[in-house]
């Protein structure tokens, strides 16, 4: 079957929302859409794929596919694509999908367009837009070979609408590499406490170095080191920010300065060397707006900034700005939203 394929990226059976965005984007290209789902015990994902627009599903289920492993997944995708010759394979831009796409490109001697924000079909080929230099420039790119492999930036293609009445055929496919021939083995897995899915969040509330200036709190007596005291105070500040995020059903982000100072884990960092995000609402608290931070959030729909410094560069990008102390504004704002959103 030709047409457009979509790789449904999931973690232990939970699909990344961007996988469904990719199905919808593939649908918009006009050809029949086949969803690829690899794993073990993941057949429930096939139904969701149909609801979001897939016409067919290729389901690779095997013990050797139970844990994601680049070599096992890429080899299966390459084998299927060699047999069935799709025009394009779309992926969400996750670390897994990027890795698979990279390896399949080598196997099939084709190219990958990464993290694209727009895609269209021109004649036989695909033209896409890829932000480069941390979004400071846009590059128009095409693949001069088939299949075109394209990873789509999360939230760049709009929210897909599910239609529960849709269904289709599921074709089971066997793994391409036997367990004994795989070079890697997953031996353990641990969820990280307070894990954030910044890429999927519709609302992000971020704190910067300004969170260090917590006025009132006295750290517990056993903390004597000045640096530790500062970290402790900032962490209290981030839990206050967390309450605002929670009231808005959003995620907590941070600037690199806050991460480097040890206030919050690296997983929360937004920016050029952190996550690139594109929420509907981005609230920047005590963040100056350095170019590397802006690189990670400048495509947010509505940006709100609270900063003591009226000249902070972040205000240039903000739809709404407040010159003030985040420690006064944030609790009041949480209260105001709770009242209005009746939570």
Of 226-285, binders to another protein (CB under 8 A) are 248, 266-267, 272-273, 280-281
Indicate which of ligand FAD, another protein, none lies near residue 105 (CB less than 5 to 8 Å, by partner kind). another protein
What binding mask, one character per residue, do residues 80-99 give for another protein by CB under 8 A, x or -?
--------------xxx-xx
> What residues line the site for ligand FAD (CB under 6 A)?
208-210, 213, 255-258, 269-274, 286-288, 290, 292-293, 296, 306-309, 312, 325-327
Q: How far is CA 13 from the centre of its chain?
A: 17
Does position 342 bind another protein by CB under 8 A?
no
62 phi and psi, to 5 degrees? -165, 150
| Residues 202 to 231 in contact with another protein, rule: CB under 8 A | 202-203
Q: How far is the CB of 146 from another protein (least distance, A)?
A: 10
- Out of 63, 83, 109, 165, the residue judged to bind another protein by CB under 8 A: 109
Nearer to ligand FAD, 174 or 217 (CB): 217
Nearer to ligand FAD, 233 or 293 (CB): 293
Binding of residue 137 to another protein (CB under 8 A)? yes
Is 217 or 291 the residue whose CB approaches another protein more closely?
Answer: 291
Residue in 117, 96, 107, 177 with CA at minimum distance from that of residue 147:
107
| Residue from 21, 10, 5, 276 nearest 158 by CA | 21
How many residues line the site for another protein (CB under 8 A)?
90
Q: How far is CA 65 from the centre of its chain?
A: 23
Q: Does residue number 113 form part of the binding site for another protein (CB under 8 A)?
A: yes
Within 8 A by CB and 6+ apart from 14, the residues are: none
For residue 182 the two structure tokens come to: 């795989």
Q: Residue 243, preceding bond cis, omega within 30 degrees?
A: no
Q: Which is nearer to another protein, 170 or 323 (CB)?
A: 323
20 binds another protein (CB under 8 A): no
Structure tokens at 38: 């690899």
Least distance between ligand FAD and beta carbon 223 (Å)? 21
Shortest gap between Cβ of 87 and another protein (angstroms)? 14
Between 87 and 280, CB nearer to another protein: 280
How far apart CA 42 and CA 126 sit, in angstroms, is 30
State the nearest-atom distance from the C-beta of 270 to ligand FAD, in Å: 6
Cβ at position 70, least distance to another protein in Å: 5
At 290, list the tokens.
């350095």
The CA distances from residue 186 to 5, 10, 62, 199, 295, in Å, are 27, 16, 15, 25, 34
Q: How many CB atoms lie within 10 A of CB 11?
A: 12
How far is it, in rounded angstroms, from Cα 343 to Cα 341? 6
Among 63, 144, 216, 221, contact with another protein (rule: CB under 8 A): 144
What's the 3-state SS for 54-87?
Answer: CCEEEEEECHHHCCCCHHHHHHHHHHHHHHHCCC
Q: How far apart are the first and last CA of the chain?
A: 49
> Is residue 185 within the footprint of another protein (CB under 8 A)?
yes
User: Which residue of 227, 301, 308, 343 would you call a contact of another protein, by CB under 8 A?
Assistant: 301
Nearer to another protein, 4 or 307 (CB): 307
């Amino acid at each position: 079957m030709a047409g457009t394929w979509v790789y449904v990226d999931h973690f232990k059976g939970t699909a990344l929302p961007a996988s469904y965005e990719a199905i919808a984007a593939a649908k918009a290209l006009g050809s029949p859409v086949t969803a690829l789902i690899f794993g073990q015990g993941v057949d429930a994902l096939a139904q969701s794929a149909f609801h979001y627009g897939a016409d067919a599903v290729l389901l690779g289920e095997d013990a050797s596919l139970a844990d994601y492993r680049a070599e096992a997944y890429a080899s299966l995708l390459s084998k299927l694509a060699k047999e069935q010759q799709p025009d394009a394979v779309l992926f969400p831009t996750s670390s897994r999908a990027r890795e698979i796409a990279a390896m399949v490109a080598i196997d099939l001697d084709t190219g990958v367009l990464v993290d694209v924000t727009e895609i269209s079909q021109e004649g036989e080929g695909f033209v896409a837009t890829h932000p480069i230099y941390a979004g400071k420039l846009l590059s128009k790119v095409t693949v001069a070979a088939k299949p075109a492999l394209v990873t789509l930036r999360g939230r760049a293609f709009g929210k897909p609408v599910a239609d529960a009445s849709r269904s289709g055929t599921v074709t089971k496919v066997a793994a391409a590499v036997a367990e004994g021939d795989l070079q890697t083995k997953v031996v353990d897995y641990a969820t990280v406490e307070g894990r954030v899915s910044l890429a999927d969040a519709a609302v992000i509330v971020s704190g910067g170095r300004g969170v260090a200036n917590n006025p009132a709190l006295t750290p517990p007596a056993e903390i004597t080191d000045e640096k530790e005291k500062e970290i402790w105070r900032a962490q209290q500040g981030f839990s206050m920010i967390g309450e605002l995020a929670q009231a808005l059903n959003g995620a907590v982000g941070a600037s690199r300065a806050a991460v480097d100072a040890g206030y919050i884990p690296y997983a929360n960092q937004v920016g050029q060397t952190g996550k690139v995000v594109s929420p509907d609402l981005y609230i920047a608290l005590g963040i100056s707006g350095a170019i590397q931070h802006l690189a990670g959030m400048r495509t947010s729909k509505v940006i709100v900034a609270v900063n003591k410094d009226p000249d902070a560069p972040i205000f240039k990008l903000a739809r709404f700005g407040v010159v003030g102390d985040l420690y006064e504004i944030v609790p009041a704002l949480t209260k105001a939203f709770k009242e209005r959103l009746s939570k």
